[in-house]
Amino acid sequence: MRFYFCFFFVCVFSTLIYFYMHERVLFPSLLFPPLSLCALFTSCQLYISQLFLYIYIYIYFFFYFARAGGKQTMRRCFATRLTFQRLLCGDKLPLKDATAVQETASAFRTRYPLVPIPVPIGAALSRNYVLQGEPKRAVALLAAHPSAFALAEETKQLLSQDANVDADTLLRLVDAVRPVSSVISCDFLRAFAGRLSREGKTQEVKQRLMRDIREVPHLAGSLLCPLTEMSDAASSEDKVNVAEALDIALKRSFVSPKDYGHVLLLLSRGGEHRKVLALWSWMRHSSARWDKTAASAMIISASLSRKMNAAIAAIQTLAEANEDPTIEAQKYFIRYLASRVPPLSRYADQLVSHWYTETQLWTTEARVVGVELLFAHYHGKDYDQLRDGLIRAGREAVTEEAKQAILRVKGIPYIMRHFAYNIAEEPWLQDFYNSGMQMKDLGEYPQLLGLLASLARHTEAEKKFVDSIRDLKITVEAFEEMATFVADDICFKNAEDTLHFIHSMAEALSQQVPMNLRSWLELLGQK
């Protein structure tokens, strides 16, 4: 008996060495070490000295192979599975060489005429057909294969990784495979939807998605997410199509609660707030209530519909899942709190402090939430808190880029203009002024340019300011908005001086003073 177990150990260990030499894999199966050790212990149960000798040999060869394998790049992980496809095709199949793939496929068919072509070879061959502009040959290969779904999955992965396939060819592949299998066609369309959209085929993809949703309703649930992601919230047709697709999917298919969020977000951004509230009334009883996208869309619609209790309930459900609303949802909710009479600035402050630290608030994309919080203090006439918030923003935004990012947020010029008259005593405001004057895209932010113009007037640096903006590029509409912002500054009572200053900026920027603004200032100057 000991002889047979010893022989078994030698066979196992020899197989181990063979696989490593040919496949660079230490253990083709995790059963090899325990089997070999079991045979070793059984064969040596009466010979303790031989037992230690075999263990020493085993450990020596194990570390020798491990060291040798560490010097070379393994194609597989430490423990790998020997599959039938790998046994037939090996690890050296040249998937990216069209000629080699064709030769491999021909050789396999010649040698095994009755055996279906292995999936890796078939997928590489299908990819070659698509690259050659012959998607029908790829579909024919797919239709004749007994493992069509596995072949389609492998082909989809190869095509997704290949940037050489153009959008028109992918669309022809989707159309060609549809008569063979609607499931595979929908799978291809869902996988390639984002790529096709980036290449300018959004409309064609949306038409095919809606066609498949109507004609293959049991797959509507899987197509709902790509349709929603490609739809435009400003398009009434897209919103109607998404609502129809959701209705079909709910009746004839399965919809993942994760996909509810994309639908709600599209409807919310499109102004369909009543529909969002109606959908949420039953979605909140599913796991979608803990989905960040779905709950955030609900918060946006509830805030814009002035449904405070509904918005707070959605925030609380996210808190149950240890999640915070998206930045967009936070912005709209804090804006709603600021617009109430009286503004709920203390509650807004508590929420923002819970969501972010001061550094996160002013150095990340969350700065838009920080500006809405400043507006809450501004509307509540709590100017001390407003000033402290601006000082903290300037302190946290250490770099010039961080300060400029804050200045680009819509609405910040109105807040800072409140302290413009006292700029000589506000070093934080001087820092923001210096950062703003260094912006290369200042012409794209007319209100900010108007704020800097007002700050220059308060420091009596009008001439220097006018000289510094001569190279700016600004449109007629943007200049009119900027001039109106400057004229609205109530700190300057002399309309003639204001008109002269605006005229100087118009000359520097090669623009004309708007006639309505000129007439208004001239009328004020005559009084």
Residue 24 gets the label, from left (phi > 0), alpha (psi -120 to 50) or beta, of: left
Q: ∠269-252-177 over CA atoms, to 5°? A: 90
Q: How far apart are CA 392 and CA 385, in angstroms?
A: 10
Could you tell me where the beta strands, DSSP code E, fall in 196-312? Answer: none
Residue with tokens 């204001």: 498
CA distances from 28 to 57, 66, 443 (A): 20, 14, 65
Residue that terminates a domain, selected from 66, 82, 98: 82
What the block records as the tokens of 176 is 């060609």
Query: Is residue 476 assigned to a domain?
Result: yes
Q: How far apart are CA 189 and CA 202, in angstroms?
A: 12
What the block records as the tokens of 145 is 């294969």
Q: How far apart are CA 359 and CA 481, in angstroms?
A: 32
Q: What is the pLDDT of residue 512?
A: 85
Query: Is residue 239 assigned to a domain?
Result: no
- Residue 122: alpha-carbon gap to chain centroid: 33
Query: Is residue 115 assigned to a domain?
Result: no
Q: Are 386 and 377 in contact (CB under 8 A)?
A: yes
Q: How far apart are CA 244 and CA 213, in angstroms?
A: 9
What the block records as the tokens of 504 is 């100087």
Q: What is the pLDDT of residue 13?
A: 61
Q: How far apart are CA 268 and CA 293, in angstroms?
A: 11
The alpha carbons of the chain give a radius of gyration, in whole angstroms, of 35
Number of domains in the chain: 2
Residue that terminates a domain, selected from 34, 65, 82: 82
Q: What is the pLDDT of residue 24?
A: 47
Query: Is residue 203 assigned to a domain?
Result: no
Amino acid at 445: Y
Q: Can you say whether the dihedral through the CA atoms of 239, 240, 244, 250 is positive or negative?
A: positive
| Residue range of the domain that includes 462 | 440-527
Query: Is residue 426 assigned to a domain?
Result: no
Query: Is residue 461 assigned to a domain?
Result: yes
Q: What is the pLDDT of residue 57?
A: 61
- Residue 404: alpha-carbon gap to chain centroid: 24
Q: Render each residue's pLDDT in the chain as its tens digit; 527 residues.
A: 555 556 556 665 666 555 555 444 444 444 455 555 555 555 555 455 555 555 656 555 555 555 544 444 444 444 444 454 454 455 455 566 677 888 888 888 888 888 888 888 888 889 988 988 888 999 999 998 988 999 999 999 989 888 888 889 999 999 999 999 999 999 999 999 989 998 889 999 999 999 999 999 999 999 999 999 999 988 999 999 999 999 999 999 888 888 899 999 999 999 999 999 999 999 988 888 999 999 999 999 999 999 999 999 999 999 999 999 999 999 999 999 999 989 999 999 999 999 999 999 999 999 999 999 999 999 999 999 999 999 999 999 989 999 999 999 999 999 999 998 888 888 999 999 999 999 988 989 999 999 999 999 888 888 899 899 888 889 999 999 998 898 888 777 777 888 888 888 888 888 888 777 777 677 666 55
What the block records as the tokens of 34 is 């325990």
Query: Is residue 174 assigned to a domain?
Result: no
- Residue 86: alpha-carbon gap to chain centroid: 36
Q: What is the pLDDT of residue 23?
A: 47
Residue with tokens 């918060």: 299
Query: Is residue 204 assigned to a domain?
Result: no
Residue that terminates a domain, selected from 35, 52, 82: 82
Q: How far apart are CA 23 and CA 92, in angstroms?
A: 10
Q: Can you say whether the dihedral through the CA atoms of 170, 174, 176, 177 is positive or negative?
A: positive
